[in-house]
Structure 1
Amino acid sequence: DTTIVNVALPSIQRALRFSATDLEWVVNGYSLAFGGLLLLGGRAGDLFGRRRMFIAGVLLFAGGSLAGGLATTSTWLIVSRVIQGAGGAIVAPTALSLIADTFQEGPARNRALAIYAGAAGGGGAVGLILGGLIVNYLSWRWVLFVNVPIALALALAAPRVLAASDARSGRLDLPGAISVTGGMTLLVYGLSRAGTQGWSDSVTVAALGFGAALLVLFVLLELRSKQPLMPLRIFANRNRTGAYLLRMVAGATTLAVLFFLTQILQNVLGYSPLRAGFAFLPLGVGIVITAQVTSRLVGRIGARLPITLGSLIVAGGLAWLTRVNVQSTYVLDILPALIALSVGLGLIFFPTTVVAVAGASRHESGVASAALNVSQQLGGSIGLAVLGTIAANVAKGQLVNVRPTRALISQAVTAGFATAFEIGVVIALAGFVLALLVIRVRSPKAAPAALAKAA
């Protein structure tokens, strides 16, 4: 769903008259709801039964998709994307836990999880092509409508093919869910607003301040709660904490690359949505292939080496993208970077998942898997907000005291994106240092679980 909507962003922007910074919220509205509510989704699956919550999440996702396809205003679409994200937040952790419930630990579970990883990565690649086809020959609205029949089919099939899990006594930590989701939303809103209103704007400062306060409140609530949304003891494991941080780094770079390159390809280089979809294909396919190869190596060489090497390769791919300008060509200036990014991200996704879920008790499997996805989604939202603000400020600076023409606007926008990619290099290198200093797993005892969210 992330990739299919990204291809449609330029068409959505024109149809609903989004500004450049507001367009981020088509992506961030989904990501924030998805990331902020994943913990609640994982906990709900543990408490009320995973199959039941899986079906509820799929139906909620279908409702958000239908509403989004019918949107006539930017606000309507963003709200619909938030509903989609809430549905996805229930589906993702329960799906992962259902696999753990259905298959015993060992070769059978590893095969099932490898198929799961392939489906996740393949979905990302298919979304790129399908999004291009739909926008090219139908309408951007159908990138949302297409989810409805698929979701309904899943809801009907689930009771027939998925084992029911027992519900457990307990309660949902609603104050925790509200504080973490509200805090992240305000933080990202403040970062995005700074791109248009500046850092001294009172609303920007208030959003950042209240967002930080809510996140501190979340930590305090979790420390005091008898049944916390996120048991803070899961962070006591050094390697798991490192894996979560590295997935934040990966999420920040991935979402920004998809967002910026979609606009460069269609708005600057003049690609059609279909051609842009095919242009991204090496990224999705490369991640899937690399993740599958890495899954066969991690058991022998450990997780640290591929994670460290992957972070360095991602930094190299982003460094290549800093060369992009209005005269750039796909083959020379974009394709090599996409190949490098696909290899680097494929090396990161699989081993960090192995490290993060290792040792989690069964009754906390939903929360453990949800926390991994939270890291990636919230990292993506924060990264897109920060890099988008940087890109907007650079573009704005390039157009000061000049008469804006289409050529000058394209040049300014591209310069902004190139600067954002430079900051992305720094973020990726921070991940490299983090992997060197924090990750200590060299030869995991358990066979690796192929849970990489390549999409």
Structure 2
Amino acid sequence: MPRATRMLLVVVLTVQFTIALDMSVVNVALPDIRDDLGFGADGLPWVVNAYALSFGGLLMLGGRIGDLIGRRRTLVAGLTAFGLAGLAGGLVTSPGALIAARAVQGIGAAALAPVAFALITVTFPAGPARSKALGWWGATAAAGGAFGVLIGGLLTESVGWQAVMLINVPIVAFALLATLRLPADRPEPGRAPRLDPAGALLVTAGATTLVLGVVRAERQGWGSFVTIGTLATAGVLLATFVLVELRAAEPLLRMGLLTHRPVLGANLFMMLLFSGQFAAFYFTSLYLQQVLDYGPAAAGAAFVPFSGGIVIGSVLATRMVARLGLGRLLGLGGALVAVGFGWFGFAFDVDGTFLRSILGPSLVASIGAGLCFVPLGTAATAGVPAHEAGMAGGLINSSRQIGGSIGLAALVTLAASVTGPNGGASKPELAHGYAVALDAAGGLLVVAAVVALVLVPAKVGGARAGEHSPAATSGSHRAAGQPRVCDKRRREGVNS
């Protein structure tokens, strides 16, 4: 692997780890943040929601900006915003300032996530090299989320909650220095493409309103006027976005992407997968701390096996994808995750232990999830030319974020309907509510497995899964740091 490509892979994996880390690292620090800054009951969830709103609402825009102005420049801007927001968040003294810092972090993440994904799909040639890179991408993302809980607990107990914000600064500084050493993008000759401001405004407003309605539904109630009105507004905005994009000469999201069965299936699967996985992380953390009386650090350490299982599954996926094909491997992975979540639901009780209630289901679910990332990344870019890789990256990351937000809010509501108000629920009632929610998460993954088998074929683009994609061979937009290949190598890639 050329040195420039190795450097690019280091940057991409560091970015992906940092984004995933930041989505989970603050969770176990929330009680300390509340006590130190004086958050009210209604304000504390916005430490998480501010990040989710800006991240989920701007992903499509971030991916398209990367396509238009260059991926290295977008990485530099996103990393700068993300790092400065982390520094500010560790120094704040008021609730409003922390929420603002988290919102800016979400903006930075929305620029980084789709660009990181796009760089893999346009840099690595289709086949084993791309499968291996996608495996590392998926393993890094999942490991960042799992280790975020561990690192957050350790830092909160040993240093203080401010450290969970400041931990981003040295990581981002390293990624930024490495990014600046990458070659600049080579823009396509001719007239520079335009951004599609109407589409950008509509999708950002629609996605933000959708996530806002979902994250507030837990407190407002799904049947409340506020929730229904917010979700209806989001529906109107997103429907208008679709109509505008169908007529736009240079759309933010080319709707033709979703006519490809692999792309559609990958995005539906991603939504369902993370609807369950976000909820599984949330309820497992609560079960460990509120039912089994684990401290923050011990609860975080309990997630380490999940990270290990993700790595195992991702390594296996790179070897299995060519043999099983995309759809069957996704179906197998989804089925294993469903079994793992169902096992969590069966084992969550007041007398549970780490060995009986956590270790086994963590390994089954995480190995299954690890199997999914390579075929998901391949299917999500099937038939996508290189100059639209950021568009596809924004779409698949939007599916992940919005699916996770909707699934978590819905399953929190389901658990609350079983336990009643948390303040009055006993440990057996809490355990039962969490178990019901995890069983429902398992049901979502059963649906995901069916979606994969129905919509995602074994082969894409007329070749065996993982062997060929237009995104790999199009030369019109070369990623930052993508090495040149000789004509013979390029012809071989096209005709493989």
In which range does the TM-score fall when normalised by the shorter chain?
Answer: 0.7 to 0.9
Give the match for residue 419 of structure 1.
Answer: 436
Aligned ranges 1:220-239 → 2 under 5 Å: 220-239=243-262
Aligned ranges 1:114-129 → 2 under 5 Å: 114-129=135-150
Give, as a single letter, the amino acid of the residue that structure 1 aligns with 2:54. A
- TM-score, reference length from structure 2: 0.81
Give the match for residue 164 of structure 2.
Answer: 143
What SS does structure 1 have at the residue aligned with 2:302?
A: helix
In the alignment, is residue 61 of structure 1 matched against residue 78 of structure 2? no
1:142 Cα deviation (Å)?
A: 0.9
CA contact (8 A) 2:326 2:465 kept: no
Distance 1:221 1:439 in 2: 28
What SS does structure 2 have at the residue aligned with 1:169?
A: coil
Q: 2:320 aligns with which of 297, 315, 319?
A: 297
Distance 1:356 1:135 in 2: 37
Give the match for residue 90 of structure 1.
Answer: 111
Q: Is the deviation greater in 233-242 or in 164-173? A: 164-173
Q: 2:192 aligns with which of 169, 184, 203?
A: 169
Q: 2:393 aligns with which of 337, 362, 369?
A: 369
Give the match for residue 133 of structure 1.
Answer: 154
Give the match for residue 444 of structure 1.
Answer: 464
Distance 2:130 2:275 in 1: 30
Give, as a single letter, the amino acid of the residue that structure 2 aligns with 1:444. R
CA contact (8 A) 2:24 2:149 kept: yes
Gap change, CA 1:295 and 1:13, over 3 Å in 2: farther
Give, as a single letter, the amino acid of the residue that structure 2 aligns with 1:422. D
What SS does structure 2 have at the residue aligned with 1:54?
A: helix
1:212 Cα deviation (Å)?
A: 1.5
Deviations 1:409-439, CA, capped at 9 Å, x for gaps: 4444433322222321221221122123222
Give the match for residue 452 of structure 1.
Answer: none
In the alignment, is residue 156 of structure 1 matched against residue 182 of structure 2? no
1:244 Cα deviation (Å)?
A: 0.7
Deviations 1:46-74, CA, capped at 9 Å, x for gaps: 11111111100001111222233234455
Give the match for residue 446 of structure 2.
Answer: 429
Give the match for residue 70 of structure 1.
Answer: 91
In the alignment, is residue 321 of structure 1 matched against residue 344 of structure 2? yes
CA contact (8 A) 1:33 1:82 kept: yes
Aligned ranges 1:190-339 → 2 under 5 Å: 190-323=213-346, 324-339=348-363
Gap change, CA 1:199 and 1:158, over 3 Å in 2: closer
CA contact (8 A) 1:283 1:342 kept: yes
CA contact (8 A) 2:134 2:373 kept: no
Distance 1:328 1:123 in 2: 26
Gap change, CA 1:261 and 1:213, over 3 Å in 2: same
Identity of paired residues, percent?
41
Give the match for residue 395 of structure 1.
Answer: 419
Give the match for residue 209 of structure 2.
Answer: 186
Gap change, CA 1:384 and 1:271, over 3 Å in 2: same
Distance 1:268 1:19 in 2: 24
What SS does structure 2 have at the residue aligned with 1:325?
A: coil
Gap change, CA 1:288 and 1:92, over 3 Å in 2: same
Q: How many residues align?
A: 442
Give the match for residue 493 of structure 2.
Answer: none
Instruction: List alignment gaps of at least 5 residues for structure 1.
Output: 450-455
Pairwise CA RMSD? 2.8
CA contact (8 A) 1:192 1:388 kept: no
CA contact (8 A) 2:135 2:314 kept: no
1:341 Cα deviation (Å)?
A: 1.1
Gap change, CA 1:296 and 1:7, over 3 Å in 2: farther
1:252 Cα deviation (Å)?
A: 0.7
Gap change, CA 1:394 and 1:110, over 3 Å in 2: closer
Q: Is the deviation greater in 336-345 or in 146-155? A: 146-155
CA contact (8 A) 1:32 1:381 kept: no
CA contact (8 A) 2:326 2:379 kept: yes
Give, as a single letter, the amino acid of the residue that structure 2 aligns with 1:205. I
What SS does structure 2 have at the residue aligned with 1:322?
A: helix
Distance 1:317 1:91 in 2: 31
1:108 Cα deviation (Å)?
A: 5.5
1:242 Cα deviation (Å)?
A: 0.5
Q: Is the deviation greater in 437-446 or in 280-289? A: 437-446
Deviations 1:106-150, CA, capped at 9 Å, x for gaps: 665555555544544443454343223211211122111111222
1:86 Cα deviation (Å)?
A: 1.2
Gap change, CA 1:20 and 1:276, over 3 Å in 2: farther
1:287 Cα deviation (Å)?
A: 0.9
- TM-score, reference length from structure 1: 0.88
Distance 2:322 2:250 in 1: 35
Give the match for residue 6 of structure 1.
Answer: 27
Gap change, CA 1:170 and 1:273, over 3 Å in 2: same
1:217 Cα deviation (Å)?
A: 1.6
Distance 1:325 1:17 in 2: 34
Q: Is the deviation greater in 419-428 or in 275-284? A: 419-428
Deviations 1:235-274, CA, capped at 9 Å, x for gaps: 1111210111000011111111112222222233221222
1:382 Cα deviation (Å)?
A: 0.9
Gap change, CA 1:434 and 1:73, over 3 Å in 2: farther
Gap change, CA 1:206 and 1:126, over 3 Å in 2: closer
Deviations 1:164-199, CA, capped at 9 Å, x for gaps: 342771222333233333323333333444433334
Give the match for residue 453 of structure 1.
Answer: none
Distance 2:95 2:64 in 1: 32
Give the match for residue 67 of structure 2.
Answer: 46
Give the match for residue 480 of structure 2.
Answer: none
Give, as a single letter, the amino acid of the residue that structure 1 aligns with 2:385. S
Give the match for residue 379 of structure 1.
Answer: 403
1:6 Cα deviation (Å)?
A: 3.4
Q: Is the deviation greater in 366-375 or in 73-82? A: 73-82
CA contact (8 A) 1:134 1:143 kept: yes
1:25 Cα deviation (Å)?
A: 4.3
CA contact (8 A) 2:265 2:452 kept: yes
Give the match for residue 31 of structure 1.
Answer: 52
